[in-house]
């Protein structure tokens, strides 16, 4: 499809006006209208509802929008590749990541990343839910949970074992569990919708149902209560590494089970060439985790 047609479509979605789009693109409203018609004919669908008073995206237009943005950003990245005055990564980098990992590990990277790449824009969304990264137009999704079968492309960034832990105060009051069965005698702090904890037993994954007086929708709530001495939690190593290092939490080793080894993964919508903005971000993230 014609990149100029796509550029016009994006400008119209921003301005919601053929006249305003034409003014910003230094062309005429008639040319804008013709390019929109050309794009719709090329795709075989109607992208916009156009009246004398308003312009709105059709359902097909909503679906096409993230792909249109990717098309234009990819073209710009290709041009920048051979530009004599290019300055690092450019375009908009769209990232989604779990809330706990995102706040502690990714957000601290972003100021330096933007300072080193003046033409880079970042749209960062924190979500503990499974996200449709293709449909929503994300460049990369960071995941720390076991991956389900998917058409997405995955790249392992680092190890991330699950850790069973509690505060020194809790263990002093209630004792330290030695076996998996001992967990039934303790107050287990868990994430909502995760009634079972997984361990490695004799080289197989074993899931154990746990009970407790608290469950929370995010890692921060579980970790906060764990540090406060309210119970035992099972979280990933990246979620509690600071508390373990400070002695606020103590890792619990069981004699008949080992922590399940997870990973930190980057997921991409396609296996084709990754934009420079994505590789720059991933390199910064890998360096931070290595430290």
C-beta of residue 197 within 8 angstroms of C-beta of residue 210: yes
d(CA 139, CA 77): 14
Q: What is the DSSP string of 173-184?
A: HH----SGGGGG
Q: How many C-beta atoms surround the C-beta of residue 161 within 10 A? A: 14
d(CA 62, CA 279): 27
- Crossing angle of helices 3-15 and 59-81, in 10° steps, is 120
Task: Give the pLDDT score at 170.
Answer: 97
Task: Give the pLDDT score at 224.
Answer: 95
In sequence order, which residues have a C-beta less than 8 Å from that of residue 224 and are 6 or more positions away?
none
Nearest C-alpha neighbor of 101 from the set 23, 51, 158: 158
Task: Give the pLDDT score at 68.
Answer: 86
Task: Give the pLDDT score at 129.
Answer: 73
Beta bridge partner(s), residue 141: 96, 267
Nearest C-alpha neighbor of 60 from the set 76, 70, 46: 46
**What stretches of 128-195 adopt beta strand conformation (E)?**
140-143, 153-166, 188-191
C-beta of residue 152 within 8 angstroms of C-beta of residue 268: yes
Task: Give the pLDDT score at 274.
Answer: 76
Specify the residue for token string 């076991």: 146
Task: Give the pLDDT score at 86.
Answer: 57
pLDDT tens for the chain, 291 residues long, are 788 999 999 999 888 888 999 999 999 999 999 999 999 999 999 999 887 677 888 889 888 888 888 788 777 767 766 665 556 788 889 999 988 889 989 999 999 999 999 888 999 998 877 767 776 778 899 988 766 656 678 888 988 889 999 999 999 999 999 999 999 999 999 988 888 999 999 889 899 999 999 998 888 999 999 999 999 999 988 889 999 999 999 999 999 999 888 889 998 877 666 778 888 999 999 998 887
Beta bridge partner(s), residue 264: 158
Give CA separation, 55 vs 2, 15, 24, 65, in Å. 22, 9, 17, 15
pLDDT tens figures, 32-88: 999 999 999 999 999 998 876 778 888 898 888 888 887 887 777 677 666 655 567
d(CA 3, CA 6): 5
d(CA 178, CA 53): 71
Strand 215-216 and strand 196-201: pairing? unpaired
d(CA 229, CA 167): 5
Question: How many residues are present in the chain?
Answer: 291
């Amino acid at each position: 499809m014609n990149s100029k047609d796509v550029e016009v479509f994006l400008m119209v979605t921003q301005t919601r006006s053929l006249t305003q789009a034409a003014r910003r693109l230094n062309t005429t409203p008639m040319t804008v209208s013709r390019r929109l018609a050309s794009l719709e004919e090329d795709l075989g669908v109607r992208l916009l509802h156009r009246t004398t008073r308003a312009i709105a995206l059709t359902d097909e237009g909503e679906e096409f929008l993230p792909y249109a943005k990717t098309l234009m950003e990819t073209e710009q990245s290709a041009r920048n590749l051979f530009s004599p005055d290019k300055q690092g990564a450019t375009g908009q980098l769209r990232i989604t990541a779990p809330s706990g990992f995102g706040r502690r590990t990714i957000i601290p990277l972003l100021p330096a990343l933007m300072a080193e790449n003046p033409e880079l824009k970042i749209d960062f969304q924190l979500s503990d839910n499974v996200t449709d990264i293709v449909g929503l137009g994300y460049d990369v999704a960071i995941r720390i949970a076991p991956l389900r079968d998917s058409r997405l492309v995955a790249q392992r960034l680092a190890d991330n074992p699950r850790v069973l832990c509690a505060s020194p105060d809790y263990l002093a009051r209630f004792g330290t569990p030695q076996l998996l069965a001992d967990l039934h005698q303790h107050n287990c702090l868990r994430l909502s919708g995760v009634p079972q904890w997984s361990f490695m037993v004799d080289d197989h994954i074993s899931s154990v149902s746990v009970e407790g007086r608290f469950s929370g929708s995010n890692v921060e709530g579980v970790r906060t209560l764990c540090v406060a001495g309210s119970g035992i939690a099972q979280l990933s190593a990246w979620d509690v590494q600071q508390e373990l290092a400070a002695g606020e939490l103590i890792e619990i080793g069981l004699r008949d089970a080992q922590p399940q080894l997870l990973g930190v993964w980057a997921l991409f919508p396609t296996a084709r060439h990754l934009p420079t903005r994505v590789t720059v971000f991933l390199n910064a993230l890998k360096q931070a985790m290595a430290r």
